[in-house]
Amino acid sequence: MSRFRIPRFAGALVLASTLVLGACSGGGGNDDASPTTTTRPAEVTGTATLGPITVERAGTAGDLNASDAQAVVDAVNAYLSAAVFTPIATGAAPTGLDSLFTPAAAAAVANTPDIADTGLPEPSGDATATIEPVPLTALTNADGQVVLVTATLVLHLEVPTDDGPMIIDRRGDLVYESVEGQWRVASYNLAVERQLPDPPAPTTTEVKK
Amino acid sequence: MTRRRRIVTGIVATPLVAFGVVVALVAAWLAGFSVPGVSAATWMTVTKNGTATYSPQHAEPVFFLVIGNDERAGVSGARGDALHLVGVNPVTNQATILNFPRDTALPIPGHGTDKVNAANVYGGPRLTADTIGQAVGVNIPYTVETNFDGFISLIDEMGGVDVDVPTRMVDKDSGSDFEPGPQRLSGERALAFSRDRKTFPTGDIARSTNQAILMIGALGQIQRETTTAASQFRAIAIAARHTHIDGIGLRELYDLYQLAMRIDPAQVRNVTVPLASGSGSNLRLTAAAEPLFADFRDDAVLQAN
């Protein structure tokens, strides 16, 4: 049996209205305000960890050191938080992606909404993603300097919703480049598969003449 | 019972780049850098003309010249006997190959009018690029040059190249002996396919077209076999250890590789420049050449030809 769900924006309006009205009524004389209850956004989380490291050398030397490797994984986690977990949990559009991508890649992101999980059903509970350890492959130049690092992502996420579980699988490559000491996504090739729960059946009214 | 909607979205992003077919053959497998201490055959030389750097935001067509020279044991001089101008439109991801038969007569800067293959003897790939670029009216920032041994080694490293042989081909001089149809050619066989001109009444003109067919086949093969970033890194690294590169960084090559990955091989135009007989073996461009070049140079896509 399907339940009627308040659209997310409508819920936000109701919540905002409640807060405003509550604030307006705060000038009254009753100091024994009853405790307020608010809807806590569901927590959607997951942590990528470092997998095996491979170095493809254009020259005879070159390695990806441990701190850079961890920094790339940290960047992967920052991307997942900003583009996947937070938008699912809050329903809000992703923010801060510009700082995670190179300028050229960021321009492409603006036209590719599938880089982030937005516009999906509201979670009814917490969820934790399963993320395989992230293998890194570094490309080093003839001088042994790291030019690019690719992080291969395999993520599986099951999020409870009022209409059943929502399943998201993301897999593919995020290619990182160091820009002023920060690892940023220079290009990506991601496949996203989403299995969405059924929407509630529409309510129909039969009219008889 | 719950019905699930299944949404599959494939994103092949990348801060785009520009390259073309040879870019596939080259940028993909050939990056460059002469690597001190690496004792391996040099498959090819990649040369940058000028200082412009290709970047993913690039919206203008990018041109590069592929040169197969005849340098081999007993033959010196490195004439540019296989000449292909590749134009890639990074906005539409379309590519066009203009094939210049080696006997095409063109003005060579500083050397008068001569067979175009002589430009490589006079001034190497840069002068060859200037010669063809001047004829067509485009700036050619990248050249890729290989010789017999380099070509064979490159193709063999790829595990052969898939080619759809257009017709029965037999020629003992080139070693050509092919039945028509799709097949994978080793380095030696790919060279024979590329060199055979005696099978065809139109000689070098048909040969030039076949060389471009081989490049297009290589592009498709590279796209099929290097689908992950890790495999692309590996291809670039291997190629870099066997390629001498002049003026191009690995990062730029990666960007060019990404562009090559977006070009649909089935949509690449393979056009040999229109020629008429000239004095001796010098073949003159016909009047149809200039409209063709004008159509090509604005966006690397042929709309009217």
The enclosing domain of A77 has a CATH number of 3.10.450
| Cα–Cα distance, B155 to B240 (Å, whole number) | 15
- Report pTM: 0.78
Contact B4 A150 (CB under 8 A): no
Residue A203 DSSP class: P
| Structural Rg of chain A based on CA atoms | 23
Q: Is residue A20 part of a domain?
A: no
* Angle (nearest 5°) at CA B207 between B132 and B175: 130
* Angle (nearest 5°) at CA B268 between B48 and B237: 45
Interface test with A, best of B57, B233, B238, B254 (most A CBs within 10 A): B233
Strand partners, B144: B46, B66
Nearest CA in chain A to B14: A187
Q: How many CB atoms lie within 10 A of CB A182?
A: 13
Look at residue A12 and tell me whether its pLDDT is greater than 50. no
Residues of A in contact with B16 (CB under 8 A): 108
Contact B14 A108 (CB under 8 A): yes
Q: Which amino acid is present at B17? A: V
**Domain count within chain A:** 1
Q: Is residue A85 part of a domain?
A: yes
Residues of B in contact with A154 (CB under 8 A): none
Look at residue B231 and tell me whether its pLDDT is greater than 70. yes
The nearest CA of chain B is from the CA of A196 a distance in Å of 5
pLDDT at B93: 94
Among the partner residues A108, A142, A193, nearest to B13 by beta-carbon distance: A108
The more confidently predicted of residues B206 and B19 is: B206
Residue pair B128/B80 in contact (Cβ under 8 Å)? The answer is yes
Q: Containing domain of residue A119, as a range? A: 2-7+50-195
| Cα–Cα distance, B256 to B277 (Å, whole number) | 37
Q: Is residue A36 part of a domain?
A: no
Q: Is residue A22 part of a domain?
A: no
B107 — pLDDT class (breaks 50, 70, 90): very high
Look at residue B8 and tell me whether its pLDDT is greater than 60. no
What is the per-residue pLDDT across B146-183, written as a single tens digit (0 to 9) for each? 888 888 988 998 889 999 999 999 999 999 999 999 99
Residues of A in contact with B55 (CB under 8 A): 104
Contact A142 B35 (CB under 8 A): yes
B291 — pLDDT class (breaks 50, 70, 90): very high
pLDDT at A46: 97
The more confidently predicted of residues B32 and B192 is: B192
φ and ψ at B45, to 5 degrees?
Answer: -125, 130
| Average pLDDT estimate for A114-137 | 94
Q: Is residue A137 part of a domain?
A: yes
pLDDT at A5: 37
Collapsing DSSP states into helix, strand and coil, what is residue B53? coil
Contact A148 B249 (CB under 8 A): no
Residue pair B202/A162 in contact (Cβ under 8 Å)? The answer is no
The nearest CA of chain A is from the CA of B19 a distance in Å of 16
Look at residue A20 and tell me whether its pLDDT is greater than 60. no
Q: Is residue A54 part of a domain?
A: yes
pLDDT at B76: 63
Contact B15 A102 (CB under 8 A): yes
pLDDT at B75: 64
pLDDT at A204: 62
Contact A191 B9 (CB under 8 A): yes
Contact B8 A195 (CB under 8 A): no
Residues of A in contact with B33 (CB under 8 A): 58-59, 141-142
What is the per-residue pLDDT across A149-194, written as a single tens digit (0 to 9) for each? 999 999 999 999 999 999 999 999 999 999 999 999 999 999 999 9
Contact B230 A164 (CB under 8 A): no
pLDDT at A103: 86
Q: CA separation (Å) from A186 to A178, B11, B258?
A: 9, 14, 11
B284 — pLDDT class (breaks 50, 70, 90): very high
Among the partner residues B10, B33, B55, nearest to A58 by beta-carbon distance: B33
B277 — pLDDT class (breaks 50, 70, 90): confident
What is the per-residue pLDDT across A28-61, written as a single tens digit (0 to 9) for each? 334 444 444 445 478 999 999 999 999 999 999 9
Residues of B in contact with A114 (CB under 8 A): 9, 11
| Average pLDDT estimate for A199-207 | 62
Residue pair B78/B150 in contact (Cβ under 8 Å)? The answer is no
pLDDT at A10: 39
pLDDT at B202: 86
Beta strands A164-179 and A146-161, pairing class: antiparallel
pLDDT at A84: 95
B278 — pLDDT class (breaks 50, 70, 90): low
Among the partner residues B36, B230, B254, nearest to A54 by beta-carbon distance: B230
**Number of CB pairs, chain A paired with chain B, less than 8 A apart:** 140
Look at residue A96 and tell me whether its pLDDT is greater than 60. yes
* CB-based contact, A119 to chain B, within 8 Å: no
Q: Residue B160 burial by CB count (10 A; 0-12/13-18/19+): exposed, middle or buried?
A: middle
3-class SS string, A125-153? CCEECEECCEEEEEEECCCCCEEEEEEEE
Express as a percent the part of chain A with pLDDT over 70. Answer: 74
pLDDT at B104: 94
Four-residue CA torsion sign, B298, B118, B66, B172: positive
* CB-based contact, A105 to chain B, within 8 Å: yes
Q: Is residue A71 part of a domain?
A: yes
Residue pair A69/A50 in contact (Cβ under 8 Å)? The answer is yes
Q: Is residue A133 part of a domain?
A: yes
Q: Residue B27 burial by CB count (10 A; 0-12/13-18/19+): exposed, middle or buried?
A: buried
| Cα–Cα distance, B18 to B27 (Å, whole number) | 10
pLDDT at A202: 66
Cβ-proximal residues to A40 (8 Å cutoff; 6+ apart), any chain: none
Interface test with A, best of B5, B14, B93 (most A CBs within 10 A): B14
Contact B13 A57 (CB under 8 A): no
Query: Would you state the structure tokens that stand for residue A141, as one six-digit string?
Result: 């130049």
B77 — pLDDT class (breaks 50, 70, 90): low
Q: How many CB atoms lie within 10 A of CB A171?
A: 15
| Segment 13-42 of chain A within 8 Å of chain B by CB | none
Q: How many helices (H) and strands (E) does chain B have?
A: 8, 16
Look at residue B274 and tell me whether its pLDDT is greater than 90. yes
Q: How far is CA B8 from the centre of its chain?
A: 35
| Cα–Cα distance, B296 to B285 (Å, whole number) | 16
